[in-house]
Amino acid sequence: MKHVLEMVDISKEFPGVKALDHVNFKVKQGEIHALCGENGAGKSTLMKVLSGLYPAGTYSGEIVIGGESKQFHKITDAEKAGIAIIHQELALVKDMTVGENIFLGAEPCKRGVIQWDELYHNASVWLKKVGLNISPDVKIGNLGIGQQQLVEIAKALSKHTKILILDEPTAALTESEVSILMGILNQLRSEGVSCVYISHKMPEVFALADSITVLRDGRTVATLDRNETDDDKVVSLMVGRELTERYPRVEHTPGEIVLKVSQYNVWHPEKRNQRMIRDINFSLRKGEILGIAGLMGAGRTELVSSIFGAYGGKAEGEVQIEGKTVKIKSVAEAIKAGIALVTEDRKRQGLVMGMDVKRNTTMATMGKVSKLGFINENEEIKWGRQYVQDLKTKTASLETLVGTLSGGNQQKVVIGKWLMSDPKILIMDEPTRGIDVGAKYEIYNLMNRLVDQGVAIIMISSELPEVLGMSDRILVMCEGEFVKEFQWREATQENIMLAATGGK
């Protein structure tokens, strides 16, 4: 069979990071080709190169479609070549009808006037093709996520797409919706449409794909035939990097239980019937690091922000701190109860970029530096200086705006802010994301120091080596549930990843 798409030697660099390193990726006519890899392996970057989102010239390498070398300068160039991408976040206009959305930007016109009858007629033809039995004049907002996804596919097909890219298409779908989607994709395959299916859910990959390409750290690791491999093999290829001694492993002796969470359930803030977290039970001991592993969208962040009183959705279940049942309804209450949360995204959730280092440090504990609502500037300087020194934050002065610091130093300011609240339970969501190796190492040392002082740490991380290197105990989360618990000695990248991808 011939290749409809060949991506040869694709490299792409961002400042300081090599996102893609001589990647080769080939898709045959009429096949479903799964693209697998951990978070940050380069899957999405590769697809952005292919769809013209990163224009020709910003990457090196060659894209060959149907035997012809192509250069895409914008998304419409890629569309003309028959490539359509359906992102995880659907790109539909909620207040427009299904028909309007399908032909958005390509409305059938006569002298500048839209031919509505033609538009809706054509729309219903495409809807039938994807097995959607709805009228094209329904508003998108009234459809479920699964139906919206099918509308996206209909929209892509209406552009005479030869290569359809689906980025994590099932992340938000229910099981029955997933099986409908699979049916449609199988049918498209029989009609000769090629499909790139990005997913890290092994059962789906093996149910659908003809071939599987695995990316790791921006490189192509292997392209395999579905029939000659199994999920163990794919998972080990996804994670199979060598473990180097980058982690200051220290033996901890966990003490009594500080946090006990039982039968915990959390619902989505807007879609009230969608359960994000199911029947979670766990406990956390004084002086231990509990790692929570899982893939993006597994519900890890939702779980901890709900415990921290910062998640909009309804929560049910019991939370005990040091044996006492607590009902935490707001962040202020959580801080008072001794919980601190170093959030996942420091730019969006952790820091006020236009404020200086000391003000960001004191933000969650203004009570310590003020009396009757009046701030004592010198107290503020004292505390700010203490955490800058303790954490070895590199900053020109305490009055430097945090927006001008490097990622690692920004993260230290966030950590300083939370240490100032004297937490008993320190939750760290992706504590070392996007920071350099030196700063990472300092943060690991700090975590060990805190644990020695009796703080209990929950660490969420998508970097498996980090989870393995730092945790005393590891819980693996998949689709809102804890699926496995490991002691650090028995955990390996392979068995964690297998559990996280829904394998056995």
Residues contributing to the site for another protein (CB under 8 A): 308, 310, 330-332, 334-335, 341, 343, 348-355, 359, 363-364, 366-367, 370, 373-375, 377-378, 381-382, 385, 388-389, 392-399, 417, 438, 441-442, 445
> Which C-beta is closer to another protein: that of 149 or that of 410?
410
Q: How far apart are CA 71 and CA 144, in angstroms?
A: 36
Q: How far apart are CA 441 and CA 26, in angstroms?
A: 39
> Which C-beta is closer to another protein: that of 383 or that of 486?
383
Residue 377 CB, shortest distance to another protein, in Å, is 8
Residue 353 CB, shortest distance to another protein, in Å, is 7
> Which C-beta is closer to another protein: that of 377 or that of 452?
377
Q: How far apart are CA 287 and CA 255, in angstroms?
A: 6
Q: Are strands 32-36 and 194-198 parallel, antiparallel or unpaired?
A: parallel
> Which C-beta is closer to another protein: that of 124 or that of 365?
365
Residue 441 CB, shortest distance to another protein, in Å, is 5
Spatial contact of 352 and 360, defined as CB atoms under 8 Å apart: yes
Residue 315 CB, shortest distance to another protein, in Å, is 17
Residue 428 CB, shortest distance to another protein, in Å, is 13
Nearest Cα neighbor of 282 from 304, 310, 298, 250 is: 304
Say whether 455 sits in a helix, a strand or coil.
Answer: coil
Spatial contact of 299 and 311, defined as CB atoms under 8 Å apart: no
In a 13 Å sphere around the CA of 327, the CA atoms on its Cβ side amount to 3
Q: How far apart are CA 211 and CA 287, in angstroms?
A: 46
DSSP 8-class letter at 242: P
Residue 469 CB, shortest distance to another protein, in Å, is 15
> Which C-beta is closer to another protein: that of 243 or that of 332?
332
> Which C-beta is closer to another protein: that of 265 or that of 349?
349
* Phi–psi pair at 339, nearest 5 degrees: -105, 140
Count of other CB atoms within 10 angstroms of residue 26? 16
Q: How far apart are CA 8 and CA 418, in angstroms?
A: 47
> Which C-beta is closer to another protein: that of 181 or that of 388?
388
> Which C-beta is closer to another protein: that of 50 or that of 414?
414
Q: Give CA separation, 86 vs 6, 14, 63, 183, in Å.
A: 20, 23, 19, 17
Residue 398 CB, shortest distance to another protein, in Å, is 5
Residue 346 CB, shortest distance to another protein, in Å, is 9
Cα angle 94, 297, 360 (rounded to 5 degrees) comes to 90
